[in-house]
Structure 1
Amino acid sequence: MTDTKAWPFGTDAIQDDPLTALRIAVTSSHPRWFYLVGFDRESDARPTDAEAAMLASYLDEYKAHWYGDNWFAQQMGERPLDVDGGANGVIFRKWGEDDWGYRRQSWSQGPLYVPQSPRLRERYPDEAPLGPLSLEQVMDRAHDTSPARWQQWKADHPDIFSTPGRTA
């Protein structure tokens, strides 16, 4: 168990969750801290071990691209989770097997998650036709501004991403 005095995030993130050991914040859909990558603790399902590895790899790719090995990355590494007030982190949510959504922390209007929840997809099929999507497909969508870089990352990590080049 981690020393509670060293936990700077209070109740905003769960300290003893297995994902926390991978530096993935287990938090709410609207956390107070600017985590680089989070998992919504209100999710209906938990990530599998393979999905947890994908979440950790997504975080690694983000840090490698945006920070490299600079002083700020080293400073972030001193905390148990990666936070950056200038980052637009991603929160992932899992509704069921191969049924994931994501949101950016900066989103203030529009759907809460993309794709929307199964309940909303069923209720409004003409307005929310997207989904369900696997975690990898959701990550592909979250990288829509840099798909080539992301596809290369996946190709370089076939032990984690079994279908390099697959897009949403």
Structure 2
Amino acid sequence: MTKAWPFEDDADEHDPLTASRIAVTGSHPMWCYLVAFDRGSPARPTEAEAVMLASYLDEYKDHWYGTEGGYRVKLAQKPLDVDGGANGVIFHKYGDDDWGYRRQSWTRGPRYIPQPPRLRELYPNESPSGPYSLAQVMDHAHTIVDEIHKRWLDWKAEHPDVFSS
């Protein structure tokens, strides 16, 4: 007997991103996924972008849960990484090298940062204006005030095969 998909009606079981533990779900998922991709995106990640999403998830888990043991073991018991105490990130792809993201906890303001291309046309002075590549959106998600967090910059430097310039 096989176990039922625990994320029924929320995340896509057979999406290729699921194999990398990236939830493919809506913009406001029911579960607290650590990293998700919005299935309502007009475009899909390239293979290189899918690797970046998986690396983003690995950095998150290494930083918050350590590299082995503890809660990391509990995360591995489900096919996707969920934590009710986490403020997961949902990525949205508008088009080629045009990404946005949102934190799961956001209840006000724009749905994604940067906003969709049409809103950027209507409000060109909004910040950030985009378009942003996936790497730039990930940098923005790790920015405090005006500086990208050192731990993220170090991670990218340690993974040049994923985050090549």
Report the TM-score when normalising by structure 2: 0.93
Confirm whether residue 161 of structure 1 aligns to residue 159 of structure 2: no
Q: TM-score, normalised by structure 1?
A: 0.92
Deviations along 1:14-69, one digit per CA (max 9) or x if unpaired, are 00000000000000000000000000000000000000000000000000000012
Structure 1, unmatched stretches of 5+, are: 164-168
> Which residue of structure 1 lines up, in the alignment, with residue 64 of structure 2?
66
1:85-104 → structure 2 map (5 Å cutoff): 85-104=84-103
Matching of residues 15-164 of structure 1 within 5 Å: 15-68=13-66, 69-127=68-126, 130-145=129-144, 147-163=149-165
Q: Supply the AA of the counterpart residue of 2:61.
A: K
Dislocated runs of 4+, deviation >4 Å: none
Contact 2:36 2:89 survives alignment (8 Å): yes
Post-superposition CA distance 1:95-153 (Å, at most 9, x none) = 10000000000001111100000011112223356100000000000011362100100
Secondary structure of the residue that 1:106 maps to in structure 2? coil
User: In structure 2, what residue type is equivalent to 1:153?
Assistant: W
Rounded to whole Å, the distance in 1 between the matches of 2:141 and 2:102 is 8
Q: Structure 1 residues 123 and 4, CA, compared in 2 at 3 Å: closer, same or farther?
A: farther
Give unmatched runs, 5+ long, in structure 2: none
Query: Relative to structure 2, which stretch is displaced further, 37-46 or 138-147?
Result: 138-147
Aligned-pair identity in percent equals 68
* Structure 1 CA distance for aligned equivalents of residues 119 and 2 of structure 2: 38
Partners of 2:49 and 2:75 in 1: CA distance? 24
Measured on the aligned residues, the alpha-carbon RMSD in Å equals 1.4
Tell whether the 8 Å contact from 1:28 to 1:40 is kept in structure 2 after alignment.
Answer: yes
Distance 2:90 2:105 in 1: 11
CA contact (8 A) 2:89 2:101 kept: yes
Counterpart contact for 1:25–1:37, Cα < 8 Å? yes
1:166 aligned residue: none
Q: Which amino acid aligns with 1:149?
A: R
SS at match of 2:16: coil
